[in-house]
Amino acid sequence: MRILCTNDDGIHAPGLKIVEQIARELSDDVWVVAPELDQSGVSHSLSLNDPLRLREIGPRHFAVRGTPTDCVIMGARHILGDNGPDLVLSGVNKGRNVAEDVVYSGTIAGALEGSILGFPSFALSQEFSMDNKGVPLWQTALAHGPAILRKIIAQGVPKNTVININFPARAPEQVAGVQVTRQGKRNQGFLRVDERRDGRGNPYFWIGFERIAVVDTPAEGTDLAALAAGYVSVTPLRLDRTDDAFSQVLNTTLG
């Protein structure tokens, strides 16, 4: 099995080393193609107006000055050529990718692009807490990831479906188990715009996050609830975003 690994945190991110270790538990044919720079939050952006610079940094390890989507395309269509990957792993992201994160996440996008190109694809993310934000518990993803992947691969991943796996901010032996979940919904009150002034007095802005006083209780069965209870969350995400129920309503309205 040939595995293509990517991420959105950059070619030198610790989580990329973890996903490569997970991949090597499954195969000895592992390739790494990741962004030259941190691409967190770029979603499924594709570089159309800028050239892609490719740099080989070691055997089967390449850096692309582009997005995670660019990396998967370069890996599958250029670097690996006719012998494309059998599997795409994106991550391991520093921080969870749940709820609305899946819309913004470059990690999710890397896996989505793999699925678009026809390969079974997984996004992997390691949640951290305020206590271990500096050094997330990477061993949790490393300890539980390979077995979960093996079971899902043996079952088979449907076309146009991405498997989003989030590991809780717990030590490996403290993980409560694995739950298959749906995408949750988070209170967006933590988003803020931070205005500052540069050396010449001109304003500039950061989109930031702040801790909210009251945290909503996540709905049962969601990725948010699973992580809060100490479970690994496994969420199948579909490429087809059509709202079938509302389509029927619109057919009546516009028919």
What backbone phi and psi angles, to 5 degrees, belong to 129? -110, 175
The residues with which 166 forms a beta bridge, in sequence order, are 125, 233
The residues with which 94 forms a beta bridge, in sequence order, are 126
- Mapped onto helix, strand or coil, the DSSP state of residue 20 is helix
Which residue positions in the chain have pLDDT lower than 50? none
Q: What is the pLDDT of residues 146-187, one digit of tens each?
A: 999 999 999 999 999 999 999 999 999 999 999 999 999 987
Residue closest to 66 by CA, chosen among 5, 19, 10, 105: 10
Average pLDDT, the chain: 95
Asked whether 112 and 239 are in contact (CB, 8 A), the reply is: yes
Asked whether 182 and 99 are in contact (CB, 8 A), the reply is: no
Task: Please tell me the predicted confidence (pLDDT) of residue 214.
Answer: 55
Cα gap 164→143, rounded to integer Å: 17
Say what the pTM is: 0.94
The angle subtended at Cα 56 by Cα 55 and Cα 58, nearest 5°, is 150
Cα gap 111→132, rounded to integer Å: 26
Tell me the residue type at 163.
I
Task: Please tell me the predicted confidence (pLDDT) of residue 189.
Answer: 61
Question: What is the secondary structure of 49-114 as a DSSP string?
Answer: SSPPPEEEEETTEEEESS-HHHHHHHIIIIISTTS--SEEEEEEEES---TTHHHH-HHHHHHHHH
Q: What is the pLDDT of residues 208-222, one digit of tens each?
A: 877 665 567 899 999
Q: Which two tokens stand for residue 189?
A: 């009150």
Q: How many CB atoms lie within 10 A of CB 220?
A: 11
Cα gap 120→136, rounded to integer Å: 27
The residues with which 56 forms a beta bridge, in sequence order, are 62
Task: Please tell me the predicted confidence (pLDDT) of residue 11.
Answer: 98
Q: Which two tokens stand for residue 176?
A: 């409560």
Task: Please tell me the predicted confidence (pLDDT) of residue 210.
Answer: 73
Task: Please tell me the predicted confidence (pLDDT) of residue 216.
Answer: 77
